[in-house]
Amino acid sequence: MSVSWGHRLLASVLSALASAGLVHLAMIVAFWISDSSNAAIIGAAHQYFLSATLISFVIVFAFGVFGLLGRWWGALVAGVLAGLVAPLAGTSFQVVSQGVPIDDTFLPSIASTLLTVNFGFLIVTAAVVPTVGRLVYRSLVADDRSAGSTDRVALVRLPAKNLADGQTTHIDRSPVDTDLADRQWDAYVAAFTDHGWTTQEVPYAERLADSVFVEDAVVVIDGLAIIARSGSDERRGETDGVEEVLAARGYPVERIMSPGTLDGGDVLVVGTTVYVGRSSRTNADGIAQLRALLVTRGFDVVAVPVTRALHLKSTVTALPDGTVIGHDDLVDEPRLFARFLPVPEREGVAVVALDDETLLMSEAAPETAELLRELGYDVVAVDISEFEKLEGCVTCLSVRLG
């Protein structure tokens, strides 16, 4: 779901007004205090910073109109840009309006004000816009998104410090750039918030390298949370915190018990059919336990052999219309799926439906993205290269509750 233009304009105006107004007030107060609480300085400070305040309002407003204030990096750029451009332009206007000629010393003297009288404006603006301005913008945009939709929540978990030590089983290990991974995770989460989802972080697992792949810790179907039990001993601690979050949200909780094993990445729900991958992480007992929990709820549980990739959803996912997509080299038995569509790239097998018309997928599969667009879907492509080095994909980085 997208944000209406009217609501975005309102959010942009109010966030720009809050940011510019707070900075303007801060500068007046700072000058008043620095001048020994001399009331006469208030009018002079107001007049001096008025032009800069108006220009900063325009800059922040423009960032809001283009939807950039909803992202932390967009708000930060807006704050820094407004903090630099607005006082320089405002001071230039003030000086020129007083009849000062423009000569070779004009620009250097104006620039030097960033280290003197305008320094506070720069610092305060760069701090206020990404905090207060972004908060105002996001709160108003969130209100608009929730007005006509059900509550759609995605659980996510910050990448662990030792992400680069994550497990690989079916691919060769490659060096992981953890700083890039952090930025990619931010963009991934932003894709949900930009399309009307609320994201909630589950407790951080600092020393569990694979914990960012939060989908593997739990399966949520028909209002029931089923805590997984990974076939990897090292990953079983990842369920800590996930269960507490879901219980707090009112979900009844069941568990896969020993000797059963199950990873959430092996479970694909298509209508009332639940496909479960029999993989290196999910065994027959785990599938049987899942079937016992779901059959009374009206679901058919279909076991699917998975030998060519880590999880079932590393090989196939489903479009909103129920069509299962996958790559021929990865799928053991495509005949098990009612409707199966091959895609041209391995990285294109995983999609997340942000809504009935919008798909989230890896940008490493441009041919698949074009194929899906030709089928009438909007495609949001994100770079998750560092997670793909650990056999991750767009599905396993979140648990979708709505």
Catalytic residue, candidates 24, 195, 393, 396: 396
State yes or no: is 7 an active-site residue: no
State yes or no: is 311 an active-site residue: yes
Separation of alpha carbons 400 and 200, rounded Å: 10
Residue 111 CB neighbour total at 10 angstroms = 12
Nearest to 391 by CA among 336, 312, 319: 312
Tokens of 129: 């816009």
Q: For residue 108, with 0-12 CB atoms within 10 Å meaning exposed, 13-18 middle and 19 or more buried, which class applies?
A: exposed
Catalytic residue, candidates 24, 311, 327, 393: 311
Is the bond preceding 259 in cis, omega lying within 30 degrees of 0?
Answer: yes
Tokens of 288: 């049987």
Residue 247 CB neighbour total at 10 angstroms = 12
Which residues are marked as active site? 311, 396
